[in-house]
Structure 1
């Protein structure tokens, strides 16, 4: 019985291990292009771009890979992600997660606990919340 419990516990811990194993230090350099739209340290940039600081690295990796493969369409994101490989995406995602969520935000942005709506303008966030 103890062996079964041990095996099940080990399996549960393995399943809980994050998918993304990126290098945040390397990700900071690789994210140089991202700053153009998402802002320095990704705490705000051009209006209507996501604030990436503090976002979950695994979710950010999945979403970025969808842009790379054309499963999500956005002209700038699709172009910006073309030169990235899997390791680049993991490193960039680890960097943004390491920044933590901003302590403040501009009047145009709301910060909610919902990671997918994090940093979106209120109008866009209301649209997402209605889905």
Structure 2
């Protein structure tokens, strides 16, 4: 009985921890939906111009949160608000899955922090 409860508890914990993994979006759909993003963020998600964030390899949940914040106005950027405002929750999950799956070229912050 004790072993069964332990296994059940472990299983429940695993489900709770892994839920965001299953809700991470579709990478292939994200690639299609991110077509407009590449103009500023680069075809490989590694923007060359330092005024645009590098999205490749960024945390999936962070990209989702940022897009939701642009969409609802918590982040104030007219360009991003316009793009994010047209996205559904599924679009956001897919785009985040796409960019987070890409390899990043950012190995140091040197030259990427304002004032460097």
Residue 11 (str. 1) matches residue 12 (str. 2): yes
Cα RMSD for the two superposed structures: 2.2
Query: 1:1-131, aligned counterparts within 5 Å?
Result: 1-19=2-20, 20-102=23-105, 110=109, 121-123=112-114
SS of 2:44's partner is helix
Q: Flag the structure with larger Rg.
A: 2
Higher relative contact order (CA 8 A, sep 6+): 2
With the length of structure 1 as denominator, give the TM-score of the two structures. Answer: 0.75
4+ runs deviating over 2 angstroms: 18-21
| Deviation at residue 22 of structure 1 after TM alignment | 0.6
With the length of structure 2 as denominator, give the TM-score of the two structures. Answer: 0.84
User: Where does the alignment leave 5 or more consecutive residues of structure 1 unmatched?
Assistant: 112-119, 127-131
User: Where does the alignment leave 5 or more consecutive residues of structure 2 unmatched?
Assistant: none
Q: Contact 1:38–1:49 (CA<8 Å) still a contact in 2?
A: yes
SS of 1:61's partner is helix
